[in-house]
Structure 1
Amino acid sequence: MRRTDRLFDIIQILRDGKLHRAQDIADRLEVSVRTIYRDMDTLTASGVPVEGERGVGYMVRDQITLPPLNLTPQELEALNLGMAIVAEAADPDLKSAALSLADKIDAVLPTETIAAADAWKFAVYPFADAARGFTHMPPVRAAIKSRQKLRISYRRIDGTLTERTIRPLHMEYWGRVWTLTAWCELRSGFRVFRIDLIEDLTALPELFTDEPGKRLADFDPAT
């Protein structure tokens, strides 16, 4: 598992706001406790409000604010797309400026919430990952609004390509990478997909309605 993917998994664990021991996280992710300590240091340095210490446990609680700006998801998408394009440019000065700007934004960026759980950002993904995901943002957003099922080809972390039919429910920002919370019909459960790992996407003619157990309000990130 790549380190960035493991950091994403750690955030998924911590987002319930409860105290988690490093040993428990290490057992769940099948790594050493020493690795978890290093990952926590990385998340803290990246601006994630992690509280706790070695031998006690870790949790995420405090929100980050960005006064006086309030960015909509669409404005944030446009901002990140611009930085992603500039960061891939050949001009070293522009690339340096884009990375510097991203660090400043990542340090104070407000987060969104899903249901009762807080979602947190971290600035560890390269811009190339963000650029790959932006092409799918418009159809995903449209499908969420129209409550339209999607068929996606998704590249799992281990490299395996899978085909899924999903009910898209909510997009959220994690610091240069967007994720999609959805009900996966293949797994008969909620799944959180990284949008940059979606290889292909097709909107299906089939619409979906709220069903108990399959709504965004029923999603528990701790399970």
Structure 2
Amino acid sequence: MTRTERLLQLMQILRRHRYPVSGATLAAELGISLRSLYRDIATLQGQGARIEGEAGVGYLLLPGYLLPPLMFSDEEIDALVLGSRWVAQHGDPALAAASRSALSRILSVLPEERRQDPDSAALLVGPTGGDHADDSRLTLLRQALRSERKLAFGYRDARGEVTQRTVWPVALGYFEQVRMLAGWCEQRQAFRHFRVDRMHDVRILDDRYPRHRRQLLHEWRRQEQLRPQ
């Protein structure tokens, strides 16, 4: 195990503990000496990790600290790069631009030996069956999800019938062929799924939904688990 991998593992161990954990316990789990552990703690603190405690007392990682890209494993870097490229290629303009910006930041701060050349990447994103890159409706849907506001839109179902809906958006699914919105439909008084390409005249209303989106998301997931496969 390299020292970088060990520092990453130490951070993950600290994340699991809600109360101070002794240096001896940490050193035993990592298979290193106490002296090495103290050096690792000091290194992480120097990089900005909010680790409280001292030798003989115990250590606690305060919430809110994010691992710098230097601490990402090779597999995690691959996942971030591949995911960012997928969004950049298949997201709407606002999301694609944000993804390209985030990927640029990640690559710029990686160590030189681990930095990937975007033009020589081994992990590539292939085309999908639909064209969603210019769908401005997706930007509105994400805004409604973040602000927990109701959506109003016209919806054309598979039979071509058009209805007016008021929906409390819960989640937005990016599938290979289509984009799907899950939400509580006031007209049907139940959770429903809507294909984004069948929605028109989408408007974000001033009204917030009466319950938090997180609670609705939990209820929707429970319903989906009970639905016959």
Taking structure 1 as the reference length, what is the TM-score of the superposition?
0.45
Greater length-normalized contact order (CA 8 Å, ≥ 6 residues apart): 1
Task: Please state which structure has a larger fraction of its residues in helix.
Answer: 2
Structure with greater Cα Rg: 2
Taking structure 2 as the reference length, what is the TM-score of the superposition?
0.44
